[in-house]
Structure 1
Amino acid sequence: MKQSIFIIIALVLFSGKVFSQIFVHDPVIAQQNDKYYLFCTGLGITIWSSPDMENWTKEGRVFDQTPQWVSETLDDFAGHMWAPDIIYNNGQYFLYYSVSAFGKNTSCIGVATNSTLNPEDTDYKWVDHGIVIQSVPGRDDWNAIDPAIAFDDDEQPWMSFGSFWNGLKLVKLDNDLKNIAQPEEWHTIAKRQRSFDIEEADAGDGAIEAPFIFKQNGYYYLFVSFDYCCRGAESNYKIMVGRAKNIEGPYFDKNGKSMLNGGGSLVLKGNENWYGIGHNAAYTFDGKDYLVCHGYDKHDNARQKLIIREIQWDKNDWPVVDQTK
């Protein structure tokens, strides 16, 4: 409770001030007109805005109060909403978010919509539509967190999601983007085999989460995070990638190894400036491709900070980002 009160006070104190370095977890970005809007894990989903992706102003949060359905569905919800995704479709912004008990697959993914991201617009209002999917212990060997939406060549929407357990999933969505399509179609798109049987938070060498599918160069690129975040200087998060010609997969890395078998080619990891780097998204803004993620700053008490790197493409159309910053 004390932590929640502190975060609420911080939101009030720091709203409206401009920061060049921001402390974020699980960032995603959307561009509306001449501004970028960033959404990240926090009480009610924290919002930032920027004219240039360098100088950021805190704009508050999506939810002032936790939606009623969350407390009715999850007995052990701790207050934070995790790992959002933001997309624009048919005149609406769709904000997907995760609610969960830490380390358990007692989880749900919900969605809210807004016609604008500009808080000063008179039409600005987030409308919550409740659960899209839910994972239940004992029924599901997957975890309903870390959503990300992608569209295939036929403009069919899909949601990738998942953390640890039996890997990362892909489910077809209805065209309203608020429900699972009927008949249901599910796929496993990436997993790492655990070397021993475990339960809940400790995935051992099976740690994989945060899928994000980015369509470019005639491929669907599946970015994922291996290993562990949220451990400060002990974080060893890293971003891996594979690609496929079809959104359902199968996805393979540079060496031809399937991501269903632990495959993945390294995109970005910690270096002399950062501990673990991960939970990424990928975007094209104004003709350039960008990787957006968070890392743990070695020069600032391992605080979680926003990282944005431009994506280049090698001669074989694999993503390359600067490893030295």
Structure 2
Amino acid sequence: MRYRKLLLSVICSVVILGSAVGTALAAHWNLTGDVAVHDPSIIKEGSAWYTFSTGQGIQVLRSDNGTNWYRVPQIFLSPPSWWKTYVPNMTTNDVWAPDVQLYNGRVWLYYSISTFGKNTSAIGLASATSVGAGSWRDDGLVIKSDPSVDYNAIDPNLVIDASGNPWLAFGSWFSGIKITKLDKTTMKPTGSLYSIAKRSNGIEGVSIVYRNGYYYMFASIDNCCQGSNSNYKIVVGRSASITGPYKDKSGVDMMNGGGTVFDAGNTRWAGPGGQHVYNNVIARHAYDRNDNGNPKLLISDLNWDSSGWPTY
């Protein structure tokens, strides 16, 4: 995301046991193996689970049971030539905040590239018949940003509305979170941009899901990427319309800095964020104070209270 520069080229296998972020007694998955990630996006295919994350060429983890994870080949072995057209100063294969989802029989993988600290950025798209089959097709540019606009084209999230139509939510700092409708065939923007969340101290990493008449927006606020000193946290709001207004439990509009804190970490786990909600499961990273503040994957079952708000 905007205030990060993660180099995940060399990542050691790590082991994580015990409860994840949160104090409730809900099901926090006990993960083992290589769980070093930042900005995870999760998907299940058959009995296998996959996590795509920030790093060289888009890092990929696989688990055959959902709990023991191992690293598999990255998506881009080298940067596609078109990246430099939109991010001219990009000199590495560092790709940020991928988002993966199955839609209309194809797996769509959105991702972002950027100039660190600026909004000279672009969201790209790759797709495949299945994750396991590989053979990713480069579908090129989705949307770009530069200093002539007030938003930042990173942190994409594919959202499917109640009628089965695809939308893309995105944005980081600057003027906040945007959403735009996508063409069902090209999976690229076909309509206007709508502003749905803004916050002076930063909001990014959006993940929107539809449930029982509401669209729920999960987003990361404050600052990541400072290891054990990170104060990242996950907030949530909801709306009856995909284009907003999204309001928190207190009725504050997320365009006015609203957002109910869902997860702020605990004594071991600092700065949870970069979340992705998938089929009543929430994946996110947090910084492990027991391991020099290294970012690791956390997965939990997502429950819902009697008022329709998410909880662990």
TM over 0.5, yes or no?
yes
Give the conservation status (yes or no) of the 8 Å contact 1:78–1:101.
no
Q: Deviations over 1:284-323 (max 9, x none)?
A: 1xxxx111100000100000000111111111011112xx
1:302 counterpart residue number: 293
Q: Which amino acid aligns with 2:126?
A: A
1:186 counterpart residue number: 193
Q: 2:43 aligns with which of 30, 42, 45?
A: 30
In 2, Cα distance between equivalents of 1:178 and 1:43: 24
2:254 counterpart residue number: 259
User: Are 1:132 and 2:142 an aligned pair?
Assistant: yes
Give the conservation status (yes or no) of the 8 Å contact 1:110–1:131.
yes
1:73 counterpart residue number: 86
In 2, Cα distance between equivalents of 1:171 and 1:258: 19
Correspondence 1:197-216 to 2 at 5 A: 206-216=201-211
How far residue 113 of structure 1 moved from its aligned partner, in angstroms, is 0.7
Give the conservation status (yes or no) of the 8 Å contact 2:99–2:158.
yes
In 2, Cα distance between equivalents of 1:88 and 1:253: 29
1:55 counterpart residue number: 68
Give the conservation status (yes or no) of the 8 Å contact 1:97–1:109.
yes
Correspondence 1:144-163 to 2 at 5 A: 144-163=153-172
User: Are 1:116 and 2:111 an aligned pair?
Assistant: no
Give the conservation status (yes or no) of the 8 Å contact 2:34–2:70.
no
- Structure 1 residues 273 and 57 mapped into 2: Cα distance closer, same or farther (>3 Å)? same
Q: Which amino acid aligns with 1:277?
A: P
In 2, Cα distance between equivalents of 1:162 and 1:306: 22
Q: Deviations over 1:49-81 (max 9, x none)?
A: 112221012111011111110123312114210
Q: Normalization by structure 1: what TM-score?
A: 0.85
Q: SS at the partner of 2:290?
A: coil
Give the conservation status (yes or no) of the 8 Å contact 2:168–2:181.
yes
How far residue 169 of structure 1 moved from its aligned partner, in angstroms, is 0.4
User: Are 1:142 and 2:155 an aligned pair?
Assistant: no
Give the conservation status (yes or no) of the 8 Å contact 1:157–1:173.
yes
- Structure 1 residues 78 and 307 mapped into 2: Cα distance closer, same or farther (>3 Å)? farther
In 2, Cα distance between equivalents of 1:290 and 1:179: 26
- Structure 1 residues 240 and 22 mapped into 2: Cα distance closer, same or farther (>3 Å)? same
Structure 1: stretches of 5+ with no match in the other structure: 1-5, 195-205
Q: Which amino acid aligns with 2:185?
A: D
How far residue 102 of structure 1 moved from its aligned partner, in angstroms, is 1.1
User: Are 1:316 and 2:307 an aligned pair?
Assistant: yes
Alignment RMSD? 1.8
Correspondence 1:270-281 to 2 at 5 A: 270-281=265-276
Larger Rg: 1
How far residue 21 of structure 1 moved from its aligned partner, in angstroms, is 4.8
Give the conservation status (yes or no) of the 8 Å contact 1:150–1:157.
yes
Q: Which amino acid aligns with 1:128?
A: D
Give the conservation status (yes or no) of the 8 Å contact 2:105–2:129.
yes
The alignment-based identity, stated in percent, is: 41
In 2, Cα distance between equivalents of 1:320 and 1:78: 41
Q: Deviations over 1:260-285 (max 9, x none)?
A: 1100011101211111111111111x
Structure 2: stretches of 5+ with no match in the other structure: 1-6, 14-30
In 1, Cα distance between equivalents of 2:205 and 2:8: 24
Q: Hey, which bits of structure 1, 4+ residues long, moved more than 4 A?
A: none
Give the conservation status (yes or no) of the 8 Å contact 2:86–2:120.
no
Q: Which amino acid aligns with 2:117?
A: G
Q: Normalization by structure 2: what TM-score?
A: 0.89
How far residue 177 of structure 1 moved from its aligned partner, in angstroms, is 4.3
How far residue 90 of structure 1 moved from its aligned partner, in angstroms, is 2.1
In 1, Cα distance between equivalents of 2:137 and 2:286: 31
In 2, Cα distance between equivalents of 1:246 and 1:72: 35
Give the conservation status (yes or no) of the 8 Å contact 1:157–1:177.
no
How far residue 172 of structure 1 moved from its aligned partner, in angstroms, is 1.0
How far residue 19 of structure 1 moved from its aligned partner, in angstroms, is 4.9
In 1, Cα distance between equivalents of 2:61 and 2:206: 23
